[in-house]
Homo-oligomer: A and B are copies of this chain.
């Protein structure tokens, strides 16, 4: 029997997806979402952020959510954003599986989001990764604006690669390149992925792509062709940087699943199960989300059944 290529989707709707929502989700609602995602086959799940509850009230219940999710689903890889030392303490305390640290390669974006130039934010991130490694927590390092910045335009490849060098040296075992502004094009994705993979073949490389300009799935496809097997997604395409108006959010998990299954790859995720999560989000948030496959499923159920979904 031929082995299918496996692609892992990290579900980020509970973190990046909810970051800009005014409707705060309670613990029971979030736990219901975790269960629906687990039922659908999601194995890696970003549960929230350990930022200060005053800055990210949407994520105030992350500690409890991580503890409860770990207890109920020991085989789930729980991840969360860890912005500082205090956040790392909380993450370690509740037994988080993987800590995600992140820094912007664009000065302007860094100044607007964390009030520091990128070089200074990088130093702090490097120290934080060191502390995370020391605490025995798996550490992923993200580079925001890795493919461009609305404030600066092009972000030079060399800048991104220099950031990656420092983040790997600090001990990160995974590098996540984020197209925060949705400005990447597929040739650029191929090129940068090839360079990072060549420099650090032993480091896991993941991509966090945005669909702002309609190229989220195009760039995901190009990344996959270039060898990436781990992608950040969010059910329904939920989420968008509040700094970028007009942004239309993450690549929808269900659309990514449809792409990869159509290509004959495996994600371990059930499309119909995933669409139940989208339905639930749409009920909670009282609006339609931009992802496509949930709408297709509701309007063409027989068509999908014919294709084995």
Q: Chain A: residues with CB nearer than 8 A to chain B?
A: 148, 150-154, 181, 183, 185-188, 211-215, 217-218, 221-222, 244-246, 248, 252, 255, 258-259, 262-264, 291-293, 295-296, 298-300, 302-303, 306-307
Q: Cβ of A298 and Cβ of B221 under 8 Å apart?
A: no
Shortest distance between the CB of A179 and any CB in chain B (Å): 12
A214–B245 CB distance below 8 A: no
Query: A212 touching B292 by the CB < 8 A rule?
Result: yes
B residues near A181, Cβ cutoff 8 Å: 303
Q: Determine the chain B residues whose CB is within 8 A of the CB of A245 once the complex forms.
A: 299-300
| CB contact between A300 and one of B152, B187, B244, B248 (< 8 Å): that residue | B244
Distance in angstroms between the alpha carbons of A211 and B216 in the assembled complex = 13
List residues of chain B with CB within 8 A of the CB of A300: 150, 244-246
Question: Assembly of this chain: how many copies?
Answer: 2
User: Most B CB atoms within 10 A — which of A245, A291, A292, A306?
Assistant: A292
Q: Are B259 and A215 in contact (CB under 8 A)?
A: yes
Bound-complex Cα distance A275 to B183 (A):
18
- B-chain residues with CB within 8 Å of residue A292 when the two chains form the complex: 211-214, 248
How many Å from the CB of A151 to the closest CB on chain B?
Answer: 7
Known: A258-B213, A303-B153. A186 touches B221 (CB 8 A): yes
Cα distance, A296 to B151, chains bound together (Å): 13
Residue in B213, B263, B296 whose CB lies within 8 Å of A185: B263
19 pairs, CB–CB < 8 Å, chain A vs chain B: A148-B307, A150-B302, A150-B303, A150-B306, A152-B306, A153-B303, A185-B259, A186-B263, A187-B263, A211-B292, A213-B258, A213-B292, A214-B255, A214-B258, A214-B292, A214-B293, A215-B258, A221-B222, A246-B300
Residue in B150, B222, B258, B296 whose beta carbon sits within 8 Å of that of A246 in the complex:
B296
Instruction: Name the B residues within 8 Å of A299 (CB-CB).
Output: 244-246
The answer to whether A214 and B291 touch across the interface, beta carbons within 8 angstroms, is yes
CB distance from A186 to the nearest CB of B (A): 6
Q: Is the CB of A214 within 8 A of B150?
A: no
Q: Are B246 and A295 in contact (CB under 8 A)?
A: yes
Residues of B within 8 Å of A213, CB to CB, are: 255, 258, 292-293, 296
Contact B296 A212 (CB under 8 A): yes
Write the chain B residue with the least CB distance to A305.
B153
Q: Which B residue sits closest to A255, measured CB to CB?
A: B214
Task: Among B148, B186, B187, B252, point to the contact of A214 (Cβ < 8 A).
Answer: B252
A244 proximity list for chain B (CB < 8 A): 299-300
**Chain B residue at minimum C-beta to C-beta distance from A252:** B214
**Apart from A187-B262, A246-B298, what are 8 other A-B pairs with CB-CB below 8 Å?**
A151-B303, A186-B221, A214-B252, A215-B262, A217-B218, A218-B259, A221-B222, A245-B299
- Using Cβ atoms and an 8 Å threshold, which residues of chain B touch A259? 185-186, 214-215, 218
- Residues in B with CB closer than 8 Å to A152 are 306
C-alpha spacing A152/B148, complex, angstroms: 42
